Chain A
Amino acid sequence: MTAKLPKRPQLTREELQQIRWLLGNALTLLAAWTVFYMDIEAWTLMVLTSVAAGVMLVRPDLPGRVPKVVHTLAFPAIVTFFAADLWIKAELLPAMVRLDMLLLLYRTISYRQRRDDLQLIVLGLFLIVIAGVLTVSLTFAAQILLYTACALAFLLVITLTDGSAAGTPAGAAQPQALPAWAQHVSWIHLARRLRVAVDWRVIGMAGILFAGVVGLSALLFLAIPRFQLESGMLLDRFITKKARSGFSDTIRFGDVTEIQQDDAVALSVDVSDRAQIPATPYWRMLVLDHYDNATFRLSPALRSAPNFEPERSAAFITGRAVPRRGRTVFWTFYLEPGVSRYLPLLGHFERLRFREQQTFRTAPLLAVVQLRTEPVTMAAYQVEDFDLSGTVADRSYGQRWRQRDEPAQARGGLQVQLGISERDRATVRRLLGEAQVDGGLEPAVFAQRVNRWLRQRHAYTLSPVIPEGEGDPLVRWMASGEAGHCELFAGAFVVMARVAGFPSRVVTGFKGGSWNAYSNNFTIRNSDAHAWAEIFDEAAATYGAWLRSDPLGIIADGESDAMGGEAAIEARLDRSWTARLDSLRVFWYRRIVNFDRGSQLETLRAAKEATQNAGKRFREAVEQALRGVKGWLTAPWDGGRVIRLVGLAATGVGLVWFWREFGRSWWRKWRGRKPRAGFDPVRREASRWLGRIEEERGAVPEREAIVLELRRLRFGARSTWAAPEKIFRRAREGLRAVRKSR
């Protein structure tokens, strides 16, 4: 038989209640001291609350001596204070802080029930949060930690006290009723009891856990701003493989087609003016100018300055589009995660705005924006006024192109080089001959003819076959007449154009999309992924521009307006169930995304002004009333005025007398005729007088008889009542007699 361990002494319920009081007041002090960190005029209240909390901590029996009238008037007084504060000072936050402080003060001078204790925590938390927003200081951090630990211990003690006795005696529900635990408090004795009753190993474990949580939070706090949140949290490993198949700056033949296999939504676009929607939108993402062995990529020359600007962080980008007349058209993009770090755009734009500051690089002349990393959550941005001409004006390139023969001019960024052999070039030249085009043609005409020739020679397929053989695979395909996909068509165009002497490049992105009939926005899916070409025309757009040339579509020139606007929407309208589901996603995005901080600020400013104006009007009304009273008092006194004043006073006194003598009893009779649940004015009045007499410790004359009669009024049958007014009067007189005798 094992020896029985001695049982650890348990804290009594009263002792737990004392600890609860101690922790509650400590929380109040910690919360009140947050005023030190705020530039808010609440010093008087802070001092009052601190003193009250300290005094009530030392003497927990004092709340029992607070007169009942304080508790009766507390609520209306606090509400009035808050309303007056709000109207006169006309500032919401400081008024709320003062209200909070006042509530803390009241909770400190009254015995608290469970709900009051919980309210105390919330009140303190409010102050802590406000102070936390307004300040950054190490002392405050220590205070928050202390508050958190204190609040946790407080909650634990609340749970323990409530668990040790479900429910409290009905009498303790009164905030001024002196509870048993508060009658003989000795903090020294309690400390001794705590020392023997508390298992310090548990306290130690709790301390270690708390320190662990605080340490981890501190580490995260310090670490997160130093690198991207998503990489810091290792979020990228949760990105699905499908989402990783997005566009990059290197495209091998088949990459775009692979993206097309995925039918998921890649992009949703809200347009503020439906009339501006082009017939076939081409959502450009990336320009690929270097070709080598079945791979198009962004060349280092194009990737560097002056094309790509250095990386920077900002919330908006100013674009190169020529400002258009009329109302600004807003294009709001919701880019799904994993699509690309290159933002889909319709061309040059006036302004691009992010929800929050982003780190990015821009290529203004290429109309390309590249985020530092691929977003792992939905990325939203808003574009103002796209250049919807279907061309990408590039004045700088035009200048360089015109000076291409000068020795100092670098050939790298001219987008005319080709990584193919001379034999392949010869093949391409032969094909150019077959297509009956040469470098002497206008670029637009050249593009039209080549595209037509390519479409006639090759069919479209998602599973192309490139013939085996020597030389470049693209040239082999061009020479074969096999069917191909968009990358092969675009690549073939670029190769033919460059061999013919035209600057050209491949562009990747999305083409078209559907118009969601439920949420009224463009929905672009991965299956809309596309590759097309651009050819430079030095005569276009005054100083030269890149014309879109889609061998699988039509050349941009002159196409746009004919089928744009409502007609384009009608042609792309999607009313399917998928569209219904997609619309939910867009509704959500619209709810959480807000670019318009200006309107938010405007609303806040308007609210502030309204409050200030109301406070001003209130002050004016009060001042006017005071002036009126002053004027009336200072006006010369004559007999008529005196008579009127006396008459007014007499009427007032008469009304009061009439009400007390008859009005109240009539009122009670009238209300008592149809007694409602829980409401009978006589019973309520009797209950009130019973409470007053019970609280009165002095000798009330005829106390027993009065109490019996009052009890009859409160609990007896109505038919046995004898003149309630007289009984109330007796009670009133009895209480007055006691007070006078003191």
Chain B
Amino acid sequence: MSDFVPAAQITDARQAVDRLRTNMQRTIRGKDDVLEQVLVCLVAGGHLLIEDLPGVGKTTLAYSLARSMDCVFSRIQFTSDLLPSDVTGVAIYDETVKEFVFKKGPVFANVVLADEINRATPKTQSALLEVMDRARVTIDGEPHAVGSPFMVFATQNPVDYEGTFPLPESQMDRFLMRLRMGYPEPGDELEILRTARGGYDAIALNPVVTRTEILGLQALAHQVFIEDSVLDFILKIVAATRTESEFRAGVSVRGGVALRSAAQARALVHQRDFILPEDVVELVAPVLAHRLALARQSSDALEERRAVAAALKRIVGSIPLPQ
């Protein structure tokens, strides 16, 4: 990894990110902070889990991102009777060629919207493990690469647990971030009421960045410099989650690496080739919260999310920022 990113590349990256942001703002109003997190996740090459109430714009956000890029997009509506092969694809015997032919599933795309992912059984959810981790699917011992770039954009409802299967911890760990949309501000909601038309097909956005540009951004993010004191800061946060009595278990090593990658991506989104401690602080909750569970079981999912976020905030507050 080089510790020097040419200024021209930084400028190009900034332009690409700005185009994406501006394009998405045409359909997603008043959610600039969420848009920034989504862009960070995209630049970091991670997968995103959006968790919120139905009808607050989760799917619209996914459509907006997919259509702003010159990429293949697919949507999978997760239900309890969905099979793993419905996601990854299946080998079918072809009478004409007298052999099994692999028929690709919807996961073979660049942006996959896994809508209401927690409605599928754990078996089907687990079908995503390999593809999220290694961007490939292995069927009958034969690997099949999915699109590049590849991003899973999953949504789930935290309140309505009736007929749902909570995602296992290993699955949650594969998501780089978990975000909440939240309700829009009154002014923004008024504008939505004025302009919104029914159906996702009405989202008329033209692609503003190419697939190559996205791959370039992701490669550039890996070159963003991290000073030792900032790395140490990340390490202290991760270590603190492991000794915090409120959590059942601390953040995994993958979690720490994810925080670093996300911070690198955020620095690039902010047109920097080095990380500031603020990058880490801003990303602690979205990157780490979904990887942690409370030691005391709570029946209220929202309450648990709040308690985890509060504990994380306290941990970050207790560790001095590198000055």
Residues of A at under 8 Å CB distance from B? 165-170, 173, 677-678, 683, 687, 690-691, 711-712, 714-720
Contacts and interface: CB of A to CB of B under 8 A. Distances in A.
A119 B133 CA distance: 52
Nearest to B279: A715
A690 B323 CA distance: 8
A716 B227 contact: yes
Nearest to A688: B323
A166 B225 contact: no
B323 A687 contact: yes
A603 to B, nearest CB: 46
B3 A173 contact: no
A678 B318 contact: no
Contact of A712 (B229, B274, B320): B274
A714 B277 CA distance: 11
Contact of A717 (B229, B274, B322, B323): B274
Contacts of A167: 314-315, 317-319
B115 interface: no
A140 B323 CA distance: 47
29 contacts: A165-B314, A166-B314, A166-B318, A167-B317, A167-B319, A168-B317, A169-B317, A170-B320, A170-B321, A173-B320, A677-B228, A683-B227, A687-B323, A691-B323, A711-B274, A712-B274, A714-B227, A715-B225, A715-B227, A715-B230, A715-B275, A716-B227, A716-B274, A717-B4, A719-B3, A719-B4, A720-B3, A720-B225, A720-B274
Interface residues of B, number: 21
Interface in B64-79: none
A167 B236 CA distance: 14
Q: Is the interface of A mostly helix, strand, loop or mixed?
A: helix
Interface in B139-190: none
Contacts of A718: 3
B108 to A, nearest CB: 39
Contacts of A719: 3-4
B317 A716 contact: no
B273 interface: yes
Nearest to B226: A715
Contacts of A717: 3-4, 225, 273-274
A165 B316 CA distance: 12
A702 B144 CA distance: 54
Contacts of B323: 687, 690-691
Nearest to A687: B323
Contacts of B3: 717-720
Contacts of A170: 317-321
A166 B311 CA distance: 10
Contacts of A678: 229
A738 B292 CA distance: 47
B312 interface: no
B320 A715 contact: no
B131 interface: no
A715 B276 contact: yes
Given A690-B323, A691-B323, A711-B276, A716 B225 contact: yes
A168 B320 contact: no
Nearest to A719: B4
Interface string B295-323: 00000000000000000001101111111
A712 B224 CA distance: 12
Nearest to A691: B323
A173 B323 CA distance: 12
Given A167-B317, A717-B225, 7 more contacts: A167-B314, A169-B317, A715-B229, A715-B275, A716-B273, A717-B3, A720-B273
Contacts of B228: 677
Top 10 nearest A-B pairs by Cβ distance? A167-B318, A717-B3, A716-B274, A717-B225, A169-B317, A170-B320, A715-B227, A719-B4, A715-B274, A687-B323
Contacts of B317: 167-170
Contacts of B230: 715
Contacts of B225: 715-717, 720
A583 B275 CA distance: 66
B285 to A, nearest CB: 16
A402 B317 CA distance: 98
Given A690-B323, A720-B225, A168 B274 contact: no
Interface in B221-246: 225, 227-230
A166 B312 CA distance: 12
Nearest to A675: B228
Nearest to A694: B323
A165, A167, A683 interface centre (most CB from chain B within 10 Å): A167
A719 B2 CA distance: 10
A241 to B, nearest CB: 53
A110 to B, nearest CB: 17
Contacts of A711: 274, 276
A718 to B, nearest CB: 8
Q: Which residue, B275, B314, B317, has most C-beta atoms of chain A within 10 A?
A: B317
Interface centre among B4, B230, B274 (most CB of A within 10 A): B274
B221 to A, nearest CB: 15
A168 B318 contact: yes
Contacts of A687: 323
A677 B229 CA distance: 9
Contacts of B322: 715
Contacts of A165: 314
Contacts of B273: 716-717, 720
Contacts of A691: 323
A726 to B, nearest CB: 18
Nearest to A678: B229
A711 B227 CA distance: 11
A708 to B, nearest CB: 8
A683 B230 CA distance: 13
Contacts of B314: 165-167
Contacts of B277: 715
B174 to A, nearest CB: 29
Interface string B1-37: 0011000000000000000000000000000000000
A67 to B, nearest CB: 19
B233 to A, nearest CB: 10
A173 B230 CA distance: 19
Contacts of A712: 274
Contacts of B276: 711, 715
A565 B275 CA distance: 83
A664 to B, nearest CB: 21
A167 B322 CA distance: 17
A17 to B, nearest CB: 15
Of residues A166, A173, A687, which shows the largest number of chain B Cβ atoms within 10 Å of its Cβ?
A166
Interface string B203-237: 00000000000000000000001011110000000
Nearest to A677: B228
Contacts of B4: 717, 719-720
Nearest to A165: B314
Contacts of A677: 228
Which of B227, B230, B273, B275 neighbours the largest number of chain A CB atoms within 10 Å of its CB? B227
A173 B321 CA distance: 11
Interface in B244-280: 273-277
A169 B3 CA distance: 32
A718 B315 CA distance: 31
Contacts of A720: 3-4, 225, 273-274
Nearest to A690: B323
A661 B320 CA distance: 34
Contacts of A715: 225, 227, 229-230, 274-277, 322
B79 to A, nearest CB: 43
A719 B319 CA distance: 29
Contacts of A168: 317-318
A678 B4 CA distance: 22
Contacts of B315: 167
A166 to B, nearest CB: 7
Contacts of A714: 227
Nearest to A712: B274
A718 B225 CA distance: 10
A709 to B, nearest CB: 12
